[in-house]
Amino acid sequence: MDLAFVQSGLLEKYLDTDVISAARVTALLERRGILDGTPVYLDEETQTPIPPLCEFGRYLSTSLLDETTLKDYGRVIGRLDDHLAGLDSDVLSAAESDLVSYRGYRTQRQKKPVGASVWSRESFVLDDFYGFLVDRKILTHRPVRLAARGRNALAPRVRSGMDIRHLTFEQYRYLRDVGLGGQLPNAEVDLAFRGWSPLRGRAGSDMALGTGARWREWSTVLLPEIGLWPGMPGGAAEYVVQACAKYGKARPIYVPEDAVESAGLFCLLERPDIVRRAARGLERKARELFVVGEVDVAGGRVRGVLDGIVREFEMAAMDAKLRRITVYEGEFGLEALSLFICRGGLMPGADAWKGYRHRAWTRMNELADGTTPHLPARRWRWHDLRHTYALQMLTYLENSMDGPEPDQQARRRRHRSYLTGHIRHNPLLIVSRRLGHASPETTYQYLQYTDDLINEFEAAFAGWVGDDEATYAEIASHALASTKGAC
């Protein structure tokens, strides 16, 4: 079985037939709600669609999943079929022993076994897939028996908690300045540094830590959203993230002034050269881009031409795919509207940011000496900066709430005096809202880390982002102030 994915943007370039036009095919896909990324399963010999599997692909598409998720779910079924082919079976005729064998292969026997969290997602997709086939009467029953209380028998037996990893002040500065920024451990400039655009890496890490946002939420930010646009006053910024947020849950993201200045330094010193070098290439593929002609900063909207049609979008509702192709006419020609850009002139993708992080980790280990802070066995992730934000913010708010009151009983009475006060000022709930967690239960898992040595600082984030002596207490102050208007 072969696996392909719907990609409507490639139709005009590659569809070569007199039977139907690319525009007609695109219109049909839109009319029937088939999204980009929808998996299409083809017979290996005839290259014709396999109806039951393609029906499942359409079912996933109608669930309004994003393109990346659709592809990931589609690959789960493809990997299972590849494994079953070696057992002289396939996904439609698999027995329980076949799926148990596949679980053992993925979690134990393959060259790089997957962890519990990855297999948990895969087992969910497989359970949903076979449930779909039974509901549509394609199969009479699921190949795997249900466990107690209807639990998916393929799922991991032990529910794992969040993998919360956080950085100390010294670790963060070593990551930002040495790994990403091209400095030596003694803070001198490394003339042998072969990295590219160190200010972009520094700005990215400052954005990740200063906002506490998920990678997709801060790496896709547009220039007008962060205040780096003509006519905007500068300073701290706040923008609404929705299409790029997890589950599409809208929330405001506050960007402290020092993080904005770090991004501004990248825009001043490095970004123009990248834009100039990439301008000619962007001009050649202008027809494939969303060329913005009008930016309504106050209304949070952009208006321009996409696929030859004048379109208008709310910035918060623009997904990562659209943001990546959004450009405007700048000093050197077309340039990306996104803050972060790579050599091609457009927004870096997940693989690019992963590469920046991996190269930084390699560099940090190579330069490690007696003054280097502890480096864990596993390389840091961008998401670890979000965990660091949460722990720093949580501890700082707790200390602010407690104040100088030495009596613990008095502090507890003050915290529970009124329900409204609890909802508005409870540090855990404030951090939960800032992180965009669907439930405070997720934020509870940070509590076990708040007694760590990382939280011995009196003022959260003091001197972390930027190079000034400014404290990051204004982040917490802003968080507290914004809750007052919500009640």
User: Would you say residue 199 has pLDDT above 90?
Assistant: yes
**304-353: pLDDT as tens digits:** 999 889 999 999 999 999 999 999 999 999 999 999 999 999 999 999 99
Looking at the chain, the whole-number percentage of residues with pLDDT higher than 90 is 54
Q: Which of 332, 331, 322 is nearest to 291 (CA)?
A: 322
Q: Which of 439, 458, 456, 436 is nearest to 390 (CA)?
A: 436
pLDDT the model gives residue 151: 63
The amino acid sitting at 106 is R
pLDDT the model gives residue 435: 76
- Report the distance separating Cα 31 and Cα 34, nearest Å: 8
- Report the distance separating Cα 342 and Cα 215, nearest Å: 16
Rounded (10°) angle between helices 473-484 and 427-435: 90
pLDDT the model gives residue 278: 94
Measure the CA dihedral 248/267/262/337, to 10°.
-10
**346-391: pLDDT as tens digits:** 999 999 999 999 999 999 999 998 889 999 988 999 999 999 998 8
Q: 309-346 burial string, b = 16+ CB within 10 Å, else e? A: eeeebebbebbbbbbbbbbbeeebbbbbbbbbbbeebb
Confidence of residue 469 (pLDDT cuts 50, 70, 90): very low
The amino acid sitting at 348 is P
What residues are paired with 252 via a beta bridge?
240
Q: Which of 22, 26, 42, 24 is nearest to 34 (CA)?
A: 26
pLDDT the model gives residue 454: 40
Averaged pLDDT score across all residues of the chain: 84
The amino acid sitting at 273 is D
3-state secondary structure labels for all residues of 239-251: EEECCCCHHHCCE
> Taking residues 267-277, what's their average pLDDT?
94
Q: What is the DSSP string of 145-177?
A: -B-GGG-BTTS-SS----------HHHHHIIII
**135-173: pLDDT as tens digits:** 999 999 988 876 655 566 677 765 556 678 889 999 999
pLDDT the model gives residue 37: 92
Compute the chain's Rg from CA coordinates: 25
**Pair of tokens at residue 244:** 């790029």
User: Would you say residue 443 has pLDDT above 60?
Assistant: yes
How crowded is residue 438: how many other Cβ atoms within 10 Å of its Cβ?
10
CA distances from 166 to 353, 389, 395, 432 (A): 19, 8, 13, 17
What residues are paired with 312 via a beta bridge?
303
Please give the residue that has the higher pLDDT: either 462 or 175.
175
In 271-328, alpha helices (H): 271-284, 320-324
> Taking residues 96-116, what's their average pLDDT?
90
Confidence of residue 262 (pLDDT cuts 50, 70, 90): very high
- Report the distance separating Cα 200 and Cα 206, nearest Å: 10
CA distances from 194 to 29, 200, 267, 355, 360 (A): 46, 14, 20, 14, 11
